[in-house]
Structure 1
Amino acid sequence: MSAPAAAPNGAERPHTAFPKAVLFDLDGTLLDSAPDMLAVANAMRADRQLPPMPMQPLRAQVSKGSRAMLGATFPDLDPAERDARVPEFLERYERELGRHGAPFEGVEAMLSALEAAGCVWGIVTNKPEYLASKLMPLLGWQTRCAVLIGGDTLSARKPDPLQLIVAAERIGIAPQDCVYVGDDERDIIAARAAGMASVVALWGYRLDHDDPLAWQGDALIDSPAQLVEADAWPATR
């Protein structure tokens, strides 16, 4: 379901250069963290004498955050009870961090291709920064990732563009020269508002009713492996 790479104004890409910088969402884009989340959910269910849940209902919610995952884990909870369990979820997740999940297939080849081309890359995620930071050495990315901004780093988070704008400032590259890659509609909204071209990561986490074509990203890509080629990337200015 790949769409041709296009410039932000919808024109076909006029050249075959990698962007100067690429910013990525984390969960569902670079990292398949759903197995870690499932371990957390089932540990919480076991403590409450509930049977384990399957992967699919939780996987679809991973990009939506801890509250959405708790909603899938305990569908009968009212919102106040669900919110009260967020600290427990995050505490348990910190213990499971990186134990079960791994980068999606093709991610390492994609990152290596960007680095070989002199492209700077970083991460902008709605995951709390302290958890994202702890993942970096587990993935071997602590010296490769040029900037890391979490959901609690600043006063606003995606779909607000502030995280992306600040990330571009920190790496010293104008937003118009960056591309943002994400698997959720909030990612594409934030990129557009920040003046960045965007890539919809179709390999990530989505609800059944999500329509990534309607998000109007600049490119829709099926697999990270496609992004080892410069002409798969949308054009920047």
Structure 2
Amino acid sequence: MPNPPSPSFPPAMLFDLDGTLLDSAPDMLVTANAMLADRGRAPLTLAQLRPVVSKGARAMLGVAFPELPTAERDAHVPEFLDRYERIVGQHARLFDGVAAMLAALDAAGSAWGIVSNKPEYLARRVLPQQGWETRCAVLIGGDTLAERKPHPLPLLTAAERIGVAAGACVYVGDDQRDIVAARAAGMPSVAALWGYRLHDDDPLAWQADVLVDAPRQLLDPAAWPAASPSS
């Protein structure tokens, strides 16, 4: 009998950025602590800030300034983003195994891109830092379209721009809204357990197709959920 065909990577993959490909928490910590220092406040630790990095600037400001009313904290978002823009990528690093995983996808001819809730102009700063300018097939930021995750529109638009059906893409993210968006888009999903999440988050409840502990596991094509090019 002939041997069964070896598993292959899906035709296309989309990734969240912060907490999935990039460990950007150190950049965020420097940003938040600079704001605190200017106000005569004690600095945060990485352990305090890290769980909410994937939730965005407002959530991080909530940790930095918990006593402020929501509207007052939200008024600090432009300052946070401006300070972060000045140092973006200086302290951030790829998660261990991400570079090898992306190289394997490139070698296999699979397209990959990024769909993040990070503002697009900040996400684009990361591409040349990592040598991704010609490798990343599409980048959608949180302000690129009229909707952002957990709405499916960013994922559907990314698949369209790559030129594949949504079902032919797999979305990888470390937050529940990533998995919610993928399911709404009809896209198989991978929950990245190495990323950022609150202590009481239960990734099993997100109902991702696959849960993965480390990027290196995704070097094995069999670790990916099945994608359907025709769907």
Report the TM range for the smaller structure's normalisation. over 0.9
Kindly provide the amino acid, as one letter, of the partner of residue 83 in structure 2: R
Asked if the contact 1:25/1:124 (under 8 Å) is kept, the reply is yes
In the alignment, structure 2 segments of 5+ residues that lack a partner are none
After superposition, give the CA deviation of every residue in 1:132-183 in whole Å (9 maximum; x if it has no partner). 0111101111111000000000000000000000000001010010000000
Identity of aligned residues (%): 67
Q: Is 2:211 the partner of 1:211?
A: no
Give the equivalent residue in structure 2 for 1:10: none
**Equivalent-residue separation in structure 2 for 1:142 and 1:76 (angstroms):** 41
**Equivalent-residue separation in structure 1 for 2:146 and 2:92 (angstroms):** 29
In the TM superposition, what is the alpha-carbon distance from 1:76 to its structure 2 partner? 0.8
Give the equivalent residue in structure 2 for 1:186: 177
Greater RCO, 1 or 2 (C-alpha within 8 Å, sep 6+): 1
After superposition, give the CA deviation of every residue in 1:1-27 in whole Å (9 maximum; x if it has no partner). xxxxxxxxxxxxx97110000000000
Q: Is 2:9 the partner of 1:18?
A: yes
- Give 1:37's match in structure 2, choosing from 28, 32, 39: 28
Number of corresponding residues: 224
Give the equivalent residue in structure 2 for 1:6: none
Kindly provide the amino acid, as one letter, of the partner of residue 159 in structure 2: A
Show structure 1 runs of 4+ deviating over 3 A: none
- Give 2:225's match in structure 1, choosing from 214, 230, 234: 234
Alignment TM-score, normalising by the size of structure 1: 0.93
CA RMSD, 1 decimal = 0.9
Q: Is 2:154 the partner of 1:163?
A: yes
After superposition, give the CA deviation of every residue in 1:177-217 in whole Å (9 maximum; x if it has no partner). 00000000000000000010000000000001100000000
Asked if the contact 1:126/1:157 (under 8 Å) is kept, the reply is yes
Secondary structure, counterpart of 1:28 in structure 2: coil
**Equivalent-residue separation in structure 2 for 1:56 and 1:82 (angstroms):** 21
Give the equivalent residue in structure 2 for 1:70: 61
Alignment TM-score, normalising by the size of structure 2: 0.96
In the alignment, structure 1 segments of 5+ residues that lack a partner are 1-13
Secondary structure, counterpart of 2:218 in structure 1: helix
**Equivalent-residue separation in structure 1 for 2:8 and 2:126 (angstroms):** 30
